[in-house]
Structure 1
Amino acid sequence: MKPLIRAFGATFGILRAEYRQLFNRYIAPIERFPGDAREICQQIIDRLWYGDFYRTSLGHYNFFWMRDFGTVAESLVILNHATHVHHTLRWAMRHYRHGGRVKLCIDKNGNVFNAPGKPSIDALPWLLHSLVVSRYELNSEEREFLGGELSRYVDRYLTPEGDIKKGVRYAEMRDAVYYERSAYAVALVGRLAQCADVLQLDNFPFAPSVYRDILINEYWNGMFFKADRVTTHFSSDSALIPFFLKVVEDADMVNATLDYIDKTELNLPYPMKYGEIPSRRLRYRFGMGPISMPNYTETSIWTWHATYYLHLLKRYDRPEYKKQYDQFSALIERHQTYPELTNPDGSWYYAPFYRADPGMVWAALYLELPTK
């Protein structure tokens, strides 16, 4: 009976997410906020806390996404929202345990599901990352559950040497395409290894250094981590996340990547473009290709990735930080909200079957940054 209930809940969650997306894409107006960029972002973060958990956006992503929450958990703690972060994690852990799996999404009714449908390789790593950066105290039942999830994760995704299995399809940050073992995915497994050590969870058998070595030996081209094992172009998720999560800490490598971004103007007119137009056609997920969603994750400007970029500029004391911070602030003020993505010129992204979402929880990453 339990598997049937779980399957129904997952299906209901997906259908509800699709309904919200259609409603907000074609009917709901975009809510705008007064003030400068920081004031706008603070209003958004306040609105996304509903008393039970942090929603992902004020648009059609008005439910919990583990990936999005994981990226902002540390920022929210630094912004003095640790109580809300712990409440969200407690809420998520309860529903994950009830659902029997860690998946990418949870709706307000507690239905656990994956979107866009495939199991995600990064939900469990982002959950453990959130537990670590917020110093969440796990109870014995939560520890037992996470131990089982780690064992399943290793069996599903990893080879006996710890590398990601070739040919396994899964959802990840760049969810419009199918990668062949992206650098982003390897970085998230590396972060999982780090967090399993910190949390003293014994069901993950590989050291963090395994993933640092894979990234450097298999992906580094002297300028950036290439997108995956068969793609040579720059993609900001794969290029930035290994450094952002400190899976690789090498100032020369970071600066080489930041120099490349500056040289190729991936940070203009605003930070930052998702990447470059690939030299070979990517494998797109059904319904997310260049006809239905043109330039969704190519040269469009993604505010999520802009904040990783700004954090690295500041962390490594780069001289262009102030200029890039101001440009990004201007983009927020232009739209009077925190957009999911924009066209390359900064205008709102509209496609035949998609409209960029407003009021993203990613605004917390921006609020953590200093103004200069």
Structure 2
Amino acid sequence: MSNLSSRLSTPFRLARVAVRQVHARYFDDLDRFNGNAREVCEQVVAGTWNGTFFTTSLGHYDYFWMRDFGTVAGSLTAIGQRDKVHQTLRWALKQYRKADHVTICIDPNGRAFNAPGRQSIDALPWLTHSLAVSKYPLTKTDKAFLNRRIKVYCKKYLQVYSGHLKKRRLFNELRDAVHYDRSAYALALTGRLSIAARELGLTFPYPPNRYAEELVSHYWTGQYFRTDAETDDFSAECALMPFFLGVINNKEMANATFDYILESKLETPYPLKYSNGKLKFRYRFMMGPIAMPNYTGDTIWTWHATFYLHLLKQYKRPEYKVEYEKFASLIERHGNYPELVNPDGSWYYAPFYRADPGMVWAALFLDLPTPKS
């Protein structure tokens, strides 16, 4: 499938996604798994393997998301799933070569598309990250394709001379409900692309320290990495991802971020709230506060909770045990691994949306060590 035909098929893929979301909201049951938090997560991860690739969830996200898979590729590898990680990547690379594009999603039939519509700045970085952390054996054909996509990526998103993000270039990223202007998350992912390209023997024209320096010089508030070039607001993915991906390795800055989270009670009653909710953003169509109230506000996201827990462990923070146990109790409360929950821990519902169950993100939790009593 060519890049053009892939774009033409996208509306049909998005329509399927929308129908699945509404159907899940009103008609699908929520399964409850037996066991403790780790046992629940083991069942969830096992269920997301469909024999060909890891799906994103056991609910309406029954297809492949490069972003979600990218965040768990290292953890899946660490818990003994390297062969399945490689099988997933082999399948994804085949579909991407057919489409001549690296999109954020691939449907079960192998059709590549972007959701919620715009092209994604982080699909290629997460792909290269996954290949690197799982030590995937790239072929010459793979490398030629990836180098070609890196050239397109740089031309589309980066300034020629500096390699910095282009101003006000709209694209899809992790917090896909809002429009950012050069987010810290996007900058961190570009930095990770630079690092992963070197690890894989690919060609990326800008050095990794360029993105680390930009983050420290223009995004660091003294307590956390601010959301984007326009606002000092806290958003979990922007605050944590530079550390999680190793673009920034600074204990003092990491500890300042963890202190801010504690002082602002963003881990209460469970880790981790998406944002401090101080500022408003421009929302994408049908993803604003009317259709999806508080979707990325002070709701608790299990994805970000696991980024947070991994970093607490990495930086040997004393609150790791307490936060791990709080999060484990949330999993056990629902007998599932929800996409997100309300600030009180109850399952998130919106008029046309229900938080998805059984997220593949559970692999991140399984990769965490159980705290000693």
TM-score bracket for the superposition, by shorter chain length: over 0.9
* TM-fit CA distance, 1:2: 4.3
Contact 2:32 2:335 in 1 (8 A): yes
Mapped partners of 2:217, 2:360: distance in 1: 34
Mapped partners of 1:96, 1:16: distance in 2: 20
Matches within 5 A, 1:151-166: 151-160=151-160, 161-166=162-167
* TM-fit CA distance, 1:142: 1.0
Mapped partners of 1:144, 1:9: distance in 2: 26
Aligned partner of 1:189 in structure 2 is 190
* TM-fit CA distance, 1:158: 0.1
* TM-fit CA distance, 1:284: 0.6
Question: What's the CA shift string for 1:277-323, capped at 9, x where partnerless?
Answer: 123x2111111111111111110000000001000110011111000
Q: Which runs of 5+ in 1 are unaligned?
A: none
Q: What amino acid is aligned across from residue 60 of structure 1 in structure 2?
A: H
Aligned partner of 1:26 in structure 2 is 26
Question: What's the CA shift string for 1:165-215, capped at 9, x where partnerless?
Answer: 00100000100100110000000000000011111112x200000000000
Aligned partner of 1:69 in structure 2 is 69
Matches within 5 A, 1:274-289: 274-279=274-279, 281-289=280-288
Contact 2:3 2:100 in 1 (8 A): no
Matches within 5 A, 1:60-139: 60-139=60-139
Mapped partners of 2:19, 2:98: distance in 1: 24
Aligned partner of 2:229 in structure 1 is 229
Mapped partners of 1:15, 1:290: distance in 2: 21
Mapped partners of 2:284, 2:50: distance in 1: 33
Mapped partners of 2:12, 2:179: distance in 1: 25
Mapped partners of 1:252, 1:211: distance in 2: 19
* TM-fit CA distance, 1:8: 4.4
Q: Percent identity?
A: 55
Matches within 5 A, 1:161-180: 161-180=162-181
Q: What amino acid is aligned across from residue 319 of structure 2 in structure 1?
A: E
Mapped partners of 1:51, 1:171: distance in 2: 29
* TM-fit CA distance, 1:6: 2.7
Mapped partners of 1:3, 1:77: distance in 2: 31
Contact 2:233 2:278 in 1 (8 A): yes
Number of residue pairs matched by the alignment = 370
* TM-fit CA distance, 1:40: 0.3
Mapped partners of 1:75, 1:7: distance in 2: 32
TM-score with structure 1 setting the length: 0.98
Contact 2:157 2:169 in 1 (8 A): yes
Q: Which runs of 5+ in 2 are unaligned?
A: none
Contact 2:3 2:101 in 1 (8 A): no
Mapped partners of 2:51, 2:25: distance in 1: 26
| Secondary structure class of the residue paired with 2:53 | coil
Question: What's the CA shift string for 1:236-278, capped at 9, x where partnerless?
Answer: 0000000000100000000000011011110000001001112
Aligned partner of 2:41 in structure 1 is 41
Q: What amino acid is aligned across from residue 346 of structure 2 in structure 1?
A: S
CA-based RMSD: 1.1
* TM-fit CA distance, 1:26: 1.5
Contact 2:2 2:100 in 1 (8 A): no
Q: What amino acid is aligned across from residue 175 of structure 2 in structure 1?
A: R
Mapped partners of 2:141, 2:313: distance in 1: 39
Aligned partner of 1:148 in structure 2 is 148
Mapped partners of 2:44, 2:277: distance in 1: 32
* TM-fit CA distance, 1:140: 1.1
* TM-fit CA distance, 1:16: 2.1
Matches within 5 A, 1:203-218: 204-218=204-218
Cα distance, 1:104–1:3 mapped onto 2, change above 3 Å: closer
Contact 1:75 1:365 in 2 (8 A): yes
Q: What amino acid is aligned across from residue 366 of structure 2 in structure 1?
A: L
Mapped partners of 1:10, 1:187: distance in 2: 27
Contact 2:64 2:106 in 1 (8 A): yes
Mapped partners of 1:121, 1:289: distance in 2: 21
